[in-house]
Amino acid sequence: MLRPRITPCLLIKDKGLVKTIKFEKPKYVGDPINAVKIFNEKEADELIILDIDATIHNREPDYQMIKNLAVECRMPLCYGGGVNTLEQFTKIISLGVEKVAISAAAIKEPMLISQAAAMVGSQSVVVVIDVKKRRFGGKYEVFSHNGEQSTKLEVVNFAKKIETLGAGEIVINSIDRDGSMQGYDLKLVRLVRDAVNIPLTILGGAGDHGDFKELFRQFGTIGASAGSLFVFKGKYRAVLINYPTQMERDKIITI
């Protein structure tokens, strides 16, 4: 990662674009292909697309949907959802996707990280860590299956393991901040940033451009991702796909 990046994250459920709050109550907000077209026009740095149904329902990735998205997308694309095998990794890459993200599979079959890195290159292997702060003790715990399953894993130790296994990037996804638009959990970011050296992207909580700027001010070259900020507009959360202009981005990433 040569410079800070600002990355929209799109959630897909039943082939539709949805948004959640704390991983719950998905709200339909539009068609994924239309959203990709708009982000193309706005020249987004990169795009993360996560199918939140696939792992929960133990089904294969929807390869036709992925192909349609990849064909339309004119920016680097990261896809996650339902990926459990090396064969799925390579098939998704063959469809024109630059990066493949795994979450539950990284917990269940951590050696998949090393195998995929050897096959497609570590730069194409992303691990999404869904994190929730424990009510008692304040420690950060890794969850899986859309935040439904506790793993008892502590986030820093798990992040270190992921790096050792050869992942090229980690996405830290705060369950507590998801959809809140109240700012990133900078304490969580600091814990992980101090523990690993591979690129990080932070997801969960961004409410305005100031949250990006503060993230970059504190951590320098890091990825800032958001969902609600890029699909909602105004205090009434009207659905409107948006993304900062190049001039706005230049101001945001000035650190």
Q: Among all residues, which ones are annotated catalytic?
A: 130
For residues 207 and 211, what is the distance between their CA atoms, to the nearest angstrom? Answer: 7
Residue 3 · residue 219 · CB < 8 Å: no
Task: Classify 222 as helix, strand or coil.
Answer: coil
Calculate ∠ Cα 49-54-59, nearest 5°. 140
Residues whose CB is less than 8 angstroms from the CB of residue 236 and which lie 6 or more positions away in sequence, other chains included: none
Contact partners, residue 112, CB within 8 Å, separation at least 6: 84, 85, 86, 89, 102, 105, 106
Residue 17 one-letter amino acid: L
